[in-house]
Structure 1
Amino acid sequence: MSIVPHQPAPNLSDLGWTDFFDDQLTAEETGLARMRVATVHRARMTAESGQGPVRLQLPPQTNTSDYAVGDWVLVEPGSGLLTRRLDRNTLLQRRIEGGRAPQLIAANVDTLFIVTSCNDDLNPARLERYLVLANEAGTVPVIVLTKADQVADARPYLDRVSGLQRGLQAVALNAKSPEAAKTLAPWCGAGQTVALVGSSGVGKSSLLNTLAAKLPEDAQLTGSIREDDAKGRHTTTSRSLHRICGGGWVIDTPGMRALHVSDISVGLDLLFAEIAELAPGCRFRDCTHAHEPGCAVQAAVAAGALDPARLARWRKLQEENLDNTPVQSGPRGNKTTKPHGKRR
């Protein structure tokens, strides 16, 4: 890993250090180096120090799966020994099928670029899953439509995604063009961190190469979408932190074939705000908005004020969240976490 050529080493504020992290330091820790995790592997980690990349020395029994790219850590000067991870401002995570603990995707991200393309890969229901992920983490989501240069008019694709959530911003661009960096510049300034998520083959690696002005020898490998089924090929295999020419940082992530909804509290309410606002008007507090009498949500559907397709997608994600989110059971003081299990 290397810093973008012809740019000075970043200072801590350029790396994303804020008072939120400064307030966590104790008097004994003020002499420790503050670094940001850049890569996480099974047995090793690297970090950006403000003076360049550093390979961290890990204490015995360190579980690297407890760390995410973008984390801030305290390190002993000279030895590079990791001593502590600071609390996160935001955390993107997902629960993989069969996994006991959530998989960490990226930490301390300001803006999540949800990347899709102007072709058959565009799937609003899949994008809603990414929006839930961003909402729950507290990051700002932006839909980035790539391959805009390959269609006669990108406006129909923008129209399909712009209404998925209130206040959602969406842009269309050619990920390989230098103009892409200018389009995304409002979210990529000094000290800002963005993360790229999306399916394989939609142009995330091309967009990373453009944002970070990667030289050919340093560029991320890119892959195309298969023409027969619009499915992408995996080109990014691990998460990594890269400097953006505008002064910010971008975290690249592997393409996700599946994104299961779980452990969600507020993410769905933000995504489906029109449903969340109607729900208090239902006769029953635990209304499922399916068949109960006095349902304000169903009344809005009947009146044509609420899209029934939106309600159907809300119900699917709501049920999936209930099925996938573990619950605690047992006596007080001795509770255990168990899978929720499928509802009958």
Structure 2
Amino acid sequence: MTLNSHTLADLGWSANFQRQLDTDEFGAFSPARVTGVHRDRLTALSEAGPLLLTLPPDLSAGDVAVGDWVLADPATDRVARLLDRHSRIFRRAAGEASREQLIVANVDTVFITTSATEEFNEARLERYLALAHAGGIPPVLVVTKADKADDPETYLDRLRAIAPAVPAILLNAKAEAAAEALRPWCGPGRTVAFLGMSGVGKSTLASALTGIDLETATVREDDMKGRHTTTAREMHPIPGGGWLIDTPGMRELRLTDMAEGIDEAFAEITGLTGECRFRDCTHGPEPGCAVQAAIAAGQVDAARLDRWKKLRAEDAAHAASAAEKRRRGKAFAKVVKQAKKAKRPN
């Protein structure tokens, strides 16, 4: 597959996107998939080849993500409309409680990548799982640097303890078989993405899957952390069909409006909450708490309950902050409107 020859199906087009087109849009506009987001322009791929598109006044670069589908006006090389996504990865934007930051869109599988080193952290992985579930993307857990661990299988055991229903893979990212372990989730029209901290081998795996040399700096011997050089989201073709969206390592992963995703990541706990004696049970000292009973029986990890409560509290606080910011914004706008009205001559 080359960048200049694709069918819409190759690019990931589906009946879900086709149904969004109005009758008068057929033939007038060209569907195109976003491969890069810049300040006032997008790079995209269509059946006709690569496109450079300008954004309309009602769209900003923050409204679009790599992987999105747009309708392009061939007469003006402008985006006519952004189509609804079937999935997305997003987080709360730094410093702005009311705005979400899009990471990628229309992904079919996300490889949540960690390593068999001291970097491995259950609480962080649970955040990534909540992120994937909230965005409607099936996750796969990938543990790299298996060759660095004395007993790498213990890392799979730790993954099963927090996500028994999520597929998990243990590998050496630099081994020839690494890409083959990921291929069951790739294929024509399918899009995958990597999420994880910098230095866990995402670029190495991306290079193995795509055949494109994505530069990774030398690993430091003292802590085995590579310096991930990806600084922007990019979409690359996978030989044999499909696409990979490479993303930068995210140092900070702040959650907001992700209550459902968090609950799905802690399904063994949320599946019990409806069995508690009291509807407003805090799953603490109250009598008749089904969650505490499961902990006492060894069916639920108490540490998981603590982390679930922490994430739910963080998500609720951010959502409340966003609501308060919107309320203040509306109140201020009302004051300004009244002030302008008062200044008008009678």
| TM-score w.r.t. length of structure 2 | 0.87
Secondary structure at 2:81 match in 1:
strand
Determine which of 13, 18, 21 is the counterpart of 2:17. 21
Distance in 2 (alpha carbons) for counterparts of 1:194 and 1:171: 15
Contact 2:156 / 2:168 at 8 angstroms: preserved in 1?
A: yes
Structure 1 residues 20-59: aligned runs within 5 Å: 20-31=16-27, 32-59=29-56
Q: After superposition, give the CA deviation of every residue in 1:228-261 in whole Å (9 maximum; x if it has no partner).
A: 4555534111111111113011111110111122
Secondary structure at 1:191 match in 2:
coil
Report the more deviating stretch, 184-193 or 165-174. Answer: 165-174
Q: 1:223 to 1:161 in 2, by over 3 A?
A: farther
Secondary structure at 2:259 match in 1:
coil
Distance in 1 (alpha carbons) for counterparts of 2:176 and 2:52: 32
Determine the structure 2 residue equivalent to 1:203. Answer: 201
Determine which of 228, 234, 259 is the counterpart of 1:265. 259
Distance in 1 (alpha carbons) for counterparts of 2:56 and 2:317: 37
Q: Flag the structure with larger Rg.
A: 2
Matched, 1:11 2:25: no
Contact 2:8 / 2:47 at 8 angstroms: preserved in 1?
A: yes
Determine the structure 1 residue equivalent to 2:315. Answer: 321
**What are the ranges of 5 or more consecutive residues in structure 2 without an aligned counterpart?**
332-346
Contact 1:328 / 1:335 at 8 angstroms: preserved in 2?
A: no
Determine the structure 2 residue equivalent to 1:287. Answer: 281
Structure 1 residues 74-89: aligned runs within 5 Å: 74-77=71-74, 79-89=76-86
**What are the ranges of 5 or more consecutive residues in structure 1 without an aligned counterpart?**
337-344
Q: 1:27 to 1:239 in 2, by over 3 A?
A: same
Q: After superposition, give the CA deviation of every residue in 1:40-93 in whole Å (9 maximum; x if it has no partner).
A: 122321011134322113334641110011000000225422111100101111
Determine the structure 1 residue equivalent to 2:132. Answer: 134
| TM-score w.r.t. length of structure 1 | 0.88
Secondary structure at 1:318 match in 2:
helix
Secondary structure at 2:120 match in 1:
coil
Distance in 2 (alpha carbons) for counterparts of 1:232 and 1:103: 26
Distance in 2 (alpha carbons) for counterparts of 1:301 and 1:288: 14
Determine the structure 2 residue equivalent to 1:103. Answer: 101
Distance in 2 (alpha carbons) for counterparts of 1:293 and 1:260: 33
Distance in 2 (alpha carbons) for counterparts of 1:229 and 1:182: 28
Determine which of 100, 120, 133 is the counterpart of 1:122. 120
Identity level (%): 51
Distance in 1 (alpha carbons) for counterparts of 2:32 and 2:326: 42
Distance in 1 (alpha carbons) for counterparts of 2:191 and 2:20: 20
**Superposition RMSD on alpha carbons, in Å?**
2.5
Whichever residue aligns with residue 103 of structure 1, its letter is Q
How many residues align? The count is 328
Distance in 2 (alpha carbons) for counterparts of 1:255 and 1:30: 39
**Deviation at 1:29?**
0.8
Determine which of 203, 209, 212 is the counterpart of 2:210. 212
